[in-house]
Structure formats: C-alpha cells, structure tokens
A and B are shown apart, each in its own frame.
Chain A
Amino acid sequence: MSRLPGPFLALLLVALLLPLVPLATWSVAHGWRFPDLLPRDWSLDAWAYALSPTAGVLRGLGLTAAIAGAATAGSLVIGLPAGRALGLYRFRGRAAVEILVLAPVLTPGIAAVFGLHALFLPLGLTNTVAGVALAHLIPVLPYTILVLSGVFAGYDTRAEYQARSLGASPFQVLRHVTWPAIRPGVIVAALFAFLVSWSQYLLTLVIGGGRVQTLPLQLFAFAGAGRADVTGAIAVVYVLPGILVLVLTSRRLTGRSAALAGFGR
C-alpha cells in the first residue's frame, strides 16, 4: 500500500491550497500588475498599515476573538446539559428536539437574520457586541449540542452513581468523575464552536449594523475597495487562528465528528 499521495490526490491538495498563495503574496507586494508573474517590488507597507492602531485590524482581531469566546462559552453552558439529555435519554418528543437543533444548520443562514434584526432592534441589541455574540449562538449551538450529545452517548453514568453512593458530593462527582470523562470531547466542541463564530459574516453585518467591525467585515471592506495588499495582510491575520486550532485538533477531526460540519459556517 502506497504511503504517498497519488497524482489525483496530490493535484487536489495543491488546488486546495492555491487560493492562499496570491493572498499571502499580495500582503508583501508593491505594484503587481498584469502580466507580471511576481510583484515588481516587495514591501511591508500593507503589514505596517494592517498592524497600526489606525487600521483597527488588531482591535478587530480582539473583537472577533471576544465574540467567538463569548459565543463558545454560552454554547457550552447551554449545550452541555442539552447534549447530556440527547446523549443519555430516550424520551417522547426527542425527534422533535433533534429537528429543532438541526434546523438552523439545514436552513440558509439568511432565513432568520433579518427577522432577528427586527427582534433585536427594540431590545437595544442591534449594533452591539453583545447582540452579535448572542446571534452567533444560532449557528454555533447546533454543532456544540451535536458534538456533546455524541460525547455523552458514549458516557457511562454508572461511575457517577458509584461515586455518589460512596459519599461524594454532586460537585465532587462533577469534578472528579464527569469532567475527566467528557473533557476531550468538550475541548473539541469548544474549539469548533469558536471557529464557527469566527467565520460569520452576514450575521455580524446585519445584527452589528456595521458598528461591530470584526475581521471578516474589515476584510470585505478592503477587498471591495480593491486594496489587494491590505486585503492579503488582513486575510493572513484572519486565517492563522483557525490553522492553529487545526494543528491542535487535526487528529480528532474526522468525518465522524459532527463538529466537522461546523467549519466555515
């Protein structure tokens, strides 16, 4: 059995990586016009601008991370009990709950966002970071619940009963029995939840009303304005955290994990 990718797979891998090449190159290019295969000059101007306080890219990075962090934390708090319920219990109405959990994934993202804006407007949640983080729960929560229900489906509750019968308090059980067993799955769920929030564009644009300038909004603005060099630099800043997450989770990330579906949504 060959250990090297065949020509088809090799070509595919190159094709998958290709779109990143001009972006990274543009970020250090100055003057790169048809028909030049390589830029005339190299320059760090775009990076100097992107990393300057003026551009707000670093602020956008912090903001995007804060929103993703909040959405992740919220989805874990809500998703852990829900995942436990779906993973461990058979009950009437389960199918309906599963449909509701899956519905946001199976419905185009644009379906709920305008209505949500109308819902948030009188509550003062539009144009706010909190409102955007809350809205991100729509795409994030289904994946978190799916992953966590998978984690709990393989979880044996008998250890909890044994610990309780040996006199452990509920908190001790949680800390010394439940948590060690579910920890790997929870970490994966958290990382994926983070990435789902990380890549939201339309939801942030509509609910944030342009006031919440996350990285994808800044990227779109510069791409739309034709500044390929600055666009390239922001794109590199934007994709690095995701790649880092992948380095940490690559081994766990197989098609069996429901979280896979969450990437890039």
Chain B
Amino acid sequence: MKIRAAAAATCVVLALAGAARADTADGDALIGRDWDAIVETARGGEVNFFLWGGSDTINRYVSDYLGGVLAEEYDITLNRVGLTDTVEAVNIVNGEVEAGVTDAGSVDLVWINGENFRTMRQGDLAWCGYTATLPNDALVDWSNPAVANDFGVPVDGCEVPWNRAQFAFAHDSATLPEPPRDMGALLDWIRANPGQFTYPAPPDFNGSVFVRHVFYHVAGGADRLLGPFDQALYDEIAPQVWTLLNDLEPSLWREGRTYPTAITQLDQMFANGEVAFTFNYDPAQFGLAVDAGIYPDSVRSYGLTDGTIGNTNYTLIPVNSPNKAAALVLQNLILSAEAQLEKARPEVWGATPGIEISRAAPGIREAFADLPSHPSVVPYDELAAAALPELQAEWIAAIEAGWIENVGR
C-alpha cells in the first residue's frame, strides 16, 4: 500500500514537473502574464545562455555576476555555453527545429545580432512578441531606430538590446602619436607606410565592418546605401571599392597576398608591433587587452572623424527553448540598470549600455556619470558624434561575397 502511494505520488510529481516544463516551452502562455507569476514559474529552474566565449572578463561577468544574481534571488542555475562563433548556436537551433525538436531545444538565450539575427528571423527560429512583458523593457528606447533595427532588420519584439557598440581604431601612442583621423588620411598613411596595415578577411565580423567603411568612403557617405539592397547601386560602387582595395594590396601586410583569418589574429599582430593598427566594433576590448597585459599601456583609440559605424547587440530566445520563463528572468536582469552599470565598469567589461540611462533611477544615473574612463578606450559620446548607421543584412552579404570573389582570392 505504502509503495503504491509512493508510486502514485511520484507520478503526480512527474506529471507536474512535465507540465511546468511544457509551460515554459510554450511561450504564448507566458506573454502578458503577471511578471511575479513568470518569476515563480522560473524559480528553481535553469537557463542555457550561449555566447561568444573568448573573453575571460565577459565570461566572468556572465557566470559570476549574472549567474550569481540569478542563483541568489531566483534560485535559477545559469549555464554559460561558450561559443567560438555565434553561428554555432544558430545552427544548433536550426538543426533541432529541422529535426522536429520544437519544445526541448538546448539553447535558451543567445547573444546575437546582424546576419545571425536575420537568419533566425527568416527561419522562424526566434521567439517574438514578448518584450513588453519584461518590467525593465521600460528602460529601452524603442523609438531609437538604431535600437529598433538590428542591421536594418526590424527587431519586432524578437530580441532585447544588451550593448551599444561603435567601431574604433587602436594605435600605440608611443610609436605613432598622431594617427590618421579619417578614411582618406588612413588610406594615404597605408600607402606611405607599406607593410604596417591589414584587415581580417571578411566574413570576419570586424574585417567586414572595415570594408563597409571603405564602401561608405567610396560612395561619398552612408545616405545612398541605406534602405533595401539595390543591385544597380551596388554594381556602380562595388567595382570602385575592389579596385581601391586591390591597388592598396602592395602596401598591406605581406603585400596583401594573404589576410588575417580573424580579428584576434590582427590583435596579436598589433600587440607585437607587426602592424600599426587594430580595430574593433567593441572599443572596450582595447582597455581589457591593456589590463590583461596583451597591449602596452600606451595604446589609445579613436573613431574616424568622417564617421564610424555603430550597432546594437541583443539577446534572443529561440523558439524551441524549453526554459522561456527562466530566459525572460535573465533578460530582465540583463536589462536592469544595476546589471548595465556593473557591465559598464571598465574593469568588468566597459561595455556601453543598451538601455537609456536617462530613464534609470537618479542614483544609477549619477553612478554612470561617475564611472572612471579607461585611458585606452575612446569615450562612447565621442564616437557617437560621428555615428554612421549599419547597412541592411542583404547589403552586407553582397559586400562580403564580393570581397571574397574580387579581393580575397
């Protein structure tokens, strides 16, 4: 009798557990629900957060700070899964959905933007329409087109901003006190100083952004290139860009016969003085590299005065995540002014907030204003003054393919 009762109880518990699990896989059942109820559903669960894993400081922030708050306040276990390339996570979700795994996927949250976001949108792999459910959604300025559009693709409630980023160059002020400040001057400098400049081969994320800056330069600004992909316009500008870049090759590192395969290879070459510049979409990386002893203290960074491309990066919940409630709690935490402030500290990460600081509580606003700046990291406001928008994903794909075809071979 006792045994039978125990078995029955086990069945009930299992059924409940199954129900709870199904509940958080079923996203529509969560949208619009009371936030406290969602938190209660998430309590005691886990969330699998997939993100690029190559920075020990970012890893620490995610595992220790975000994971710590989740564990303490919500009893949620955060599993950080480090990726070499975000496309790996997109592939996991894509493969699972293709195989019919619609409610037991392995990815609950992914750090994403640009082409990968476009892929997930096109493949209906992103869970959408939930952002207003998050209390801290109030801190997001969705009226800002640079936030509401991810590389020209409308966000449409399918992801939540994490950081703002803007492209910047780094140089060593000890060996190069006065770097060229705009694209024309940079190209002249490269021709005058052969062998000391190169860029990672697209489709490397940062190499691709550099090529887009050249594209803007040739097109005489960003304005003509915005909007949907225009084959005629591409055919007009692209050949000029390829000619310019091919003519530049004799002045590049190894005479342009080869290119670094990844930004990190360029970073290593810069660290050792093999080249005079590196660049990054996330200038905070320069400060972290100085602190880690990779770059000399004399490294400084700046944005081109004729404009630098900016973007926003986001977190996204895949459509087949089985832990959507816990993922929502994590996203809300990521958006919180406290977590954004912690992330903005130079020694933690130094990332520019994805939220609107002016909407945060007065104490937080002051704390943001009092943040020390890293001497090697160009202030965001300075970059923002010359901000250029990103192109739409179709443009980017065409430019990357064109570079590989015409310059990379």
Binding site for B on A (CB under 8 A): 29-34, 40-41, 43, 45, 49, 52-56, 121-122, 124, 126-127, 209-211, 213, 218, 220-222, 224-230
A224 B264 Cβ-Cβ under 8 A: yes
Complex Cα gap A227–B271 (Å)? 12
| Complex partner residue of B80 from A56, A220, A227, CB under 8 angstroms | A56
* 11 A-B pairs whose Cβ atoms sit less than 8 Å apart in the complex: A30-B293, A31-B296, A49-B56, A49-B60, A209-B91, A213-B82, A218-B53, A220-B84, A224-B262, A226-B265, A227-B56
B84, B106, B293: which contacts A211 (Cβ < 8 A)? B106
List chain B residues, Cβ under 8 A from A56: 63, 80, 82
Known interface pairs A34-B272, A54-B60, A210-B81. Does A221 touch B92 (Cβ–Cβ under 8 Å)? no
A211-B81, A224-B264 are known contacts. Are A34 and B274 too (CB-CB below 8 A)? yes
Task: Establish whether residues A226 and B88, one from each chain, have CB atoms under 8 Å apart when the complex forms.
Answer: no
**A-B complex: 6 closest residue pairs judged by Cβ atoms:** A225-B54, A31-B293, A226-B264, A34-B272, A30-B293, A54-B63
Q: How would residues 55 to 74 of chain B score, 1 for a CB under 8 Å from any chain A CB and 0 otherwise?
A: 11001100110000000000
Query: Is B89 engaged at the interface, CB distance under 8 Å to the other chain?
Result: yes
Give Cα distance in the complex from A220 to B265, angstroms: 14
- Which residues of chain A have C-beta atoms less than 8 A from B100's C-beta? 122
Q: Confirm or deny: B145 has a beta carbon within 8 angstroms of a beta carbon on chain A.
A: no
Considering the complex, give the chain B residue whose CB is closest to the CB of A218.
Answer: B82
Q: What is the interface residue range for chain B against chain A?
A: 35 or more
**Are A209 and B95 touching (Cβ within 8 A)?**
yes
B292 at the interface (CB under 8 A from A): yes
State in angstroms the CA–CA spacing of A221 and B82 once bound together. Answer: 8
Chain B residues within 8 Å of A29, by CB: 293
Residue B150 lies at the interface, judged by CB distance under 8 Å to chain A: no
B92 CB to nearest A CB, Å: 5
How far does the alpha carbon of A56 sit from the alpha carbon of B78 in the complex, in Å? Answer: 12
User: Cα distance A31–B292 when bound, in Å?
Assistant: 7
In the complex, residue of chain B having the shortest beta-carbon distance to the beta carbon of A53: B63
* Given A54-B63, A211-B81, A220-B84: A227 touches B89 (CB 8 Å cut-off): no
Please, which residues of chain B bring their CB within 8 A of the CB of A55? 56, 59
Q: Which residues of B contact A213 (CB under 8 A)?
A: 81-82
The distance in angstroms between the C-alpha atoms of A154 and B53, with both chains bound, is: 50
CB distance from B167 to the nearest CB of A (A): 19
Which residues of B (84-121) have their CB < 8 Å from a CB of A? Answer: 84, 88-89, 91-92, 95, 99-101, 106
A43 near B92: Cβ-Cβ < 8 Å: no
Query: How far is A55 from B60 in the complex, measured between Cα atoms in Å?
Result: 8
In the assembled complex, how far is the CB of residue A214 from the closest CB belonging to chain B, in whole angstroms? 12
Q: How far is the CB of B104 from chain A (nearest CB, A)?
A: 8
Question: Contacts of B272 on A, CB cut-off 8 Å?
Answer: 33-34
Give B290-319 as 1s and 0s: 1 = Cβ < 8 Å from A's Cβ atoms.
001110100000000000000000000000
Best-buried of B53, B59, B274, B296 by chain A (most CB within 10 Å) = B53
Residues on B with beta carbons closer than 8 Å to the beta carbon of A49: 56, 60
User: Residue on B with the closest CB to A222?
Assistant: B54
Main secondary structure of the interface of B (DSSP, over half): mixed
In the bound complex, residues from chain B placing their C-beta under 8 Å from that of A229 are: 292-293
Residue numbers in B under 8 Å from A225 (CB-CB):
53-55, 264
Choose among B50, B54, B95 the residue that contacts A221 (Cβ–Cβ < 8 A): B54
Closest to B65 in A: A54
**Using Cβ atoms and an 8 Å threshold, which residues of chain A touch B80?**
56
Within 8 Å of chain A (Cβ to Cβ): is B268? yes
Cβ distance A227 to chain B, nearest Cβ, rounded Å: 7
Nearest residue, chain A, Cβ from B272: A34
* A224-B262, A225-B55, A229-B293 known, 11 other contacts, Cβ within 8 Å: A33-B272, A55-B59, A121-B99, A124-B101, A127-B92, A127-B106, A211-B81, A218-B82, A220-B84, A221-B84, A226-B268
B58 to chain A, nearest CB (A): 10
List of A residues within 8 angstroms of B294 by Cβ:
31, 226-228
Interface contact A41-B293, CB-CB below 8 Å: yes
A210 touching B292 by the CB < 8 A rule? no
| Distance in angstroms between the alpha carbons of A230 and B293 in the assembled complex | 12
Q: Are B95 and A126 in contact (CB under 8 A)?
A: yes
Q: Which of A53, A121, A221, A228 touches B53 (beta carbons < 8 Å)?
A: A221
Q: How far is the CB of B206 from the nearest CB of chain A, in Å?
A: 13
Q: B46 to chain A: closest CB distance in Å?
A: 13
Closest to B62 in A: A54
Answer yes or no: B11 CB below 8 A from chain A CBs.
no
Central interface residue in A220, A222, A226, A230, by most chain B CB within 10 Å: A226
Q: How far is the CB of B72 from chain A (nearest CB, A)?
A: 15
Cβ of B267 under 8 Å from chain A: yes
Q: Separation in Å of the A191 CB from the closest CB of chain B?
A: 30
CB distance from A12 to the nearest CB of B (A): 29
B91 CB, nearest partner CB in chain A, Å: 8
CA distance A222 to B293 in the complex (A): 16
B64: nearest chain-A partner, CB-CB: A54
Question: For the complex, is B135 an interface residue (Cβ under 8 Å from A)?
Answer: no
- B274: nearest residue on chain A (CB-CB)? A34
Provide the residues of chain B in CB contact with A222, threshold 8 Å: 54
With beta carbons under 8 angstroms apart, the residue of A43, A209, A227 that contacts B88 is: A209
Report the separation of the CA atoms of residues A54 and B57 in the bound assembly, to the nearest whole angstrom: 10
**Using Cβ atoms and an 8 Å threshold, which residues of chain B touch A40?**
293
User: A43 and B106: CB pair below 8 A?
Assistant: no
Give min CB distance, A80 to chain B, whole Å: 35
User: B228 near A: Cβ within 8 Å?
Assistant: no
Distance A90 CA – B292 CA, assembled complex (angstroms): 63
Cα A205 to Cα B248 in complex, Å, equals: 38
> Quick check: B293 and A43 within 8 Å, CB to CB?
yes
**Which chain A residues lie closer than 8 Å to B83 at the CB level?**
210, 221
For residue A221, which residues in chain B have a CB less than 8 angstroms away from its CB? 53-54, 82-84
B298: shortest Cβ distance to chain A, in Å?
12
Q: Give Cα A164 to B265, complex, Å.
A: 67
CA distance A80 to B296 in the complex (A): 58
B267 touches A226 (CB 8 A): yes
